[in-house]
Structure 1
Amino acid sequence: MTEYDTETQVTDAQQAALRLANVDEETRNAALASIADAVRDNTETILDANASDVAEAEAMLDRGEYTQALVDRLKLDDAKLEGIAEMIESVTGQSDPLGRTLEARELDADLELYKVAVPIGVVGTIFESRPDALVQIAGLALKSGNAVILKGGSEASESNRVLYELIRDATSDLPDGWIQLIEAHEEVDRLLEMDDSVDLLMPRGSSEFVSYIQNNTQIPVLGHTEGVCHVYVDTAADLEMAEDIAFDAKVQYPAVCNAVETLLVDADVAEAFLPDIVERYEDAGVDLRGDAATREIVDVGVATDDDWETEYGDLELSIRVVDDVYEAVTHINAHGSKHTESIITDDTDHAETFMTSIDAASVFHNASTRFADGYRYGLGAEVGISTGKIHARGPVGLAGLTTYKYYLEGDGQLVATYAGEDATPFTHDALDGEWTPGRLSGE
């Protein structure tokens, strides 16, 4: 990969962003199709690079420097690469997020105001060991007309480099510099200083990492932090359903941020529910710990105060018995990460109380937390899952990578006409229809 200094890369991305914003949807979709083809056509090259990363990561695991969850997230195989290609194709199939009229209003006759969706500009992303995240983020940035600067974890450096080069070469018809890869930690520090050129940063990692980024830059930050997710089994739960959901939420893929980390069980059903789910968890190799009330019913380890706020990212789970839905809500709002929470119940009042009282990006009723995902939500893919509230929340897809402009179409109007005692009043009537250039002149 050709080496460039970070400032040059960001400048190139900034210039590319201005041109990419005017690339039509057909061209962007064709470029996305080329990326999907490149992934499929270069499977062996990608897997060879990934094998090098995995071998080094496993050596670090043996030395106790990496976790098994990190190694699991790092690994690619034929099925994952096909999933990456299909994800890009799903982004291609999404509606164009650009040029949509979000709101339209007549200020007066032949004076019309349109609020229109446009790209953010230059987006910087710093993400963890999953190399598929690089392709996912690049695809979403391209579809939404944004230039993107990518910084993956050093543990995935070989995989990221190959994927970046494939994407860059597959999109050679797009404005040069729309995608950039930085690799060194010092490049990140330089990037954080470039608030005049970078429009948004999207870090994915621990709360400490996201806080570091937020505290060391003036660039707006949309953080993807850990997922301390909960499943609450209510007194009115269908226990067979609850068991299946609680198991899926932990075991189906424990290394991801939407996997459950704490299981809350209503005291009224704890004795009936816990023995079977604990046996099922233990058969799957889950390391369990619980509060005193849980340990009176099942033989599990002791849960500490730290466990309630820990994202294990592995086959580990904490269990707590609560008195009712209100205590479940209190526990989650105190210890959760505002990611994804689920209640299992047949009582609609309890479901409503839980769902409206929980402060989280996603709140589910009778469903696994693992559904919190941009692809599963029908967003095509996601840049990350935002646990904040501004400007995007939950899985951040194409809409989260856009902002808007106001377009005013007039016919020679002057502000003086609307000032003073004899001023013409504004109509401020809502308008239907989309903005098009030269709308009033009939061009």
Structure 2
Amino acid sequence: MDGTEITQQMAALGVAARAAAADLAFATPEAKTLALTAAAEAVWAQRRDILAANAKDLAYGRDKGLSEAMMDRLMLNEGRIQSIVDGLRAIAGQNDPVGAVIAEWDMPSGLHIRRVRTPLGVIGVIYESRPNVTADAAALCLKSGNAVILRGGSESYHSSSALHGCMVEGLRAAGLPEAAIQMVPTRDRAAVTEMLRMVGAIDVIVPRGGKGLVGLVQAEARVPVFAHLEGICHVYADAAADLDKARRVVLNAKTRRTGICGAAECLLIDQGFYDAHGAVLIEDLVKAGVEVRTEGVLLEVPGTVPAQPEDFGREFLDAIIAAKIVDGVDGAIAHIQRYGSQHTESILTENPVAAQRFFDRVDSAIVMHNASTQFADGGEFGMGAEIGIATGKLHARGPVGAEQLTSFKYLVEGDGAIRP
């Protein structure tokens, strides 16, 4: 397919999405719920076909030399398909955000004013590797009354196509326009370039992937973008941390799934914690097969390797973590301010004053206390799923669920009111 054909194809997707969005904005909550429920049933009924498609993607990924962590992001099994189904049903069961009254008030002039939620319109989602994003993004856009154009990664092409087909089955069952959920039918990167230029067809772009993808989108997009930078997530073990809690949380934050954006990439150990407990957190990580890149006294732990300056502030997305000793909670905050990506940070402490100072002064989208950063996920926040973790400060921040995919308008009522 040459450049002209891709341009024409993307333009056609945009026209169809814009028309579908106009219909979807007025779809009843019942129709959207039916579409999502039917899609969930289709995913489960077709799980063997989805797994067969995923096997093709895994073979493609191996041929490309993807890392073990990236292969884990790509891989589907029956348990993960069940999670996709559960996510679709959870989103179906949520309250419909469209038309919800955010605030209302009366003015002395006689005006009654309501601020209500409305769809954004057409959302373009560009993502890498994880095929489950196909279902998550489609479901959240549908729930919030938005049409969506999906452009999955080349590695997940077959899996994403299979899941997209299930979502379209759901639309069909509910009598909703099938163009409400479209998938770019090519691996060609030129399609991404076209999406970024589709002003007038796409209202916002949501990039979900690594630094390279997000950087490209932010640099080249003419369409507004929900910022989703790297997940350089920190865990800070305070002097007053409970040892057992700290050991559990640090291991989970790094090792549960190393290739997701909520995986811990840097461990900060307070000097007081080290004085009391030594390097036990580092030892646990090494025993778990994690490469710990560190400095100073922590290098005495067998199996650690010297950290390079660039290792602090790096998203590894692998069984690798940077670690260092800091001086108190303010030392941890200063490190995070310098090296963090404003994604997710966690403090481990039994000192409520230290926890509150961390909460007040760490300016990240998600700040946690005595909890694993792996909880940085919309499903774990009760959103059913999320389209990404927005690290910017405009419109949406943190997990972007259905409610965050809406804007608002003012409905103003009077009784012959005139302005003097």
Please, what TM-score do these two structures have when normalized by structure 1?
0.89
1:155 and 1:274 map into 2 onto residues whose CA distance is 43
Equivalences for residues 316-355 of structure 1 within 5 A? 316-355=320-359
Residues 1:299 and 1:161: Cα distance change in structure 2 (over 3 Å) = closer
Q: Give the letter aligned to residue 28 of structure 2.
A: D
Say yes or no: does 1:174 pair with 2:176. yes
2:150 and 2:124 map into 1 onto residues whose CA distance is 6
1:413 and 1:355 map into 2 onto residues whose CA distance is 47
1:299-336 deviation digits (Å, cap 9, x = unpaired): 51001111111111111111101111111100011001
Q: Shift of the alpha carbon at 1:359?
A: 1.3
Q: Give the letter aligned to residue 176 of structure 2.
A: L
| Correspondence for 1:278 | 282
1:340 and 1:307 map into 2 onto residues whose CA distance is 18
2:194 and 2:63 map into 1 onto residues whose CA distance is 31
The answer to whether the 8 A contact 2:38-2:169 is kept is: no
Q: Shift of the alpha carbon at 1:109?
A: 6.4
Q: Shift of the alpha carbon at 1:298?
A: 5.6
Q: Give the letter aligned to residue 325 of structure 1.
A: V
The answer to whether the 8 A contact 2:291-2:303 is kept is: no
Aligned residues: 410
Say yes or no: does 1:27 pair with 2:31. yes
Q: Shift of the alpha carbon at 1:383?
A: 0.5
2:349 and 2:249 map into 1 onto residues whose CA distance is 12
Say yes or no: does 1:36 pair with 2:40. yes
The answer to whether the 8 A contact 1:274-1:297 is kept is: no
DSSP 3-state at the match of 1:218? coil
Q: Give the letter aligned to residue 254 of structure 1.
A: T
Of 186-195 and 387-396, deviating more is 186-195
The answer to whether the 8 A contact 2:282-2:301 is kept is: no
1:407 and 1:286 map into 2 onto residues whose CA distance is 55
DSSP 3-state at the match of 2:381? coil
The answer to whether the 8 A contact 1:234-1:265 is kept is: yes
1:89-132 deviation digits (Å, cap 9, x = unpaired): 01011111111111112234653221110111000000110000
1:410 and 1:97 map into 2 onto residues whose CA distance is 25
The answer to whether the 8 A contact 2:283-2:301 is kept is: no
2:274 and 2:306 map into 1 onto residues whose CA distance is 17
Say yes or no: does 1:8 pair with 2:50. no
| Correspondence for 1:98 | 98
Q: Shift of the alpha carbon at 1:165?
A: 1.8
Residues 1:327 and 1:275: Cα distance change in structure 2 (over 3 Å) = closer
1:385 and 1:129 map into 2 onto residues whose CA distance is 16
Say yes or no: does 1:122 pair with 2:134. no
Unaligned runs of at least 5 residues, structure 1: 420-443
Q: Shift of the alpha carbon at 1:74?
A: 0.3
The answer to whether the 8 A contact 1:204-1:223 is kept is: no
The answer to whether the 8 A contact 1:114-1:408 is kept is: yes
DSSP 3-state at the match of 2:97? coil
Give the counterpart of 2:236 among 218, 223, 232: 232
The answer to whether the 8 A contact 2:141-2:147 is kept is: yes
1:224-268 deviation digits (Å, cap 9, x = unpaired): 222111111111111121111111101111111101111110112
1:43 and 1:208 map into 2 onto residues whose CA distance is 32
DSSP 3-state at the match of 1:177? helix
DSSP 3-state at the match of 2:41? helix
Q: Give the letter aligned to residue 41 of structure 1.
A: A
DSSP 3-state at the match of 2:36? helix
Q: Shift of the alpha carbon at 1:214?
A: 2.2
Equivalences for residues 2-401 of structure 1 within 5 A? 5-61=9-65, 66-108=66-108, 111-172=111-172, 173-182=175-184, 183=186, 184-296=188-300, 300-401=304-405
The answer to whether the 8 A contact 2:99-2:117 is kept is: yes
Q: Give the letter aligned to residue 118 of structure 1.
A: T
Say yes or no: does 1:413 pair with 2:417. yes
Q: Give the letter aligned to residue 107 of structure 1.
A: M
Q: Shift of the alpha carbon at 1:170?
A: 2.6
DSSP 3-state at the match of 2:380? coil
1:48 and 1:293 map into 2 onto residues whose CA distance is 50
DSSP 3-state at the match of 2:378? coil
Of 133-142 and 263-272, deviating more is 263-272
The answer to whether the 8 A contact 1:271-1:297 is kept is: no
The answer to whether the 8 A contact 2:286-2:304 is kept is: no
Whichever structure has more helix as a proportion of its residues is 2
Percentage of matched positions with identical amino acids:
38
2:147 and 2:359 map into 1 onto residues whose CA distance is 37
Question: Alignment RMSD, CA only?
Answer: 1.6
- Runs of 4+ aligned residues of structure 1 deviating over 4 Å after TM superposition are 296-299
Q: Shift of the alpha carbon at 1:70?
A: 1.2
1:290 and 1:176 map into 2 onto residues whose CA distance is 52
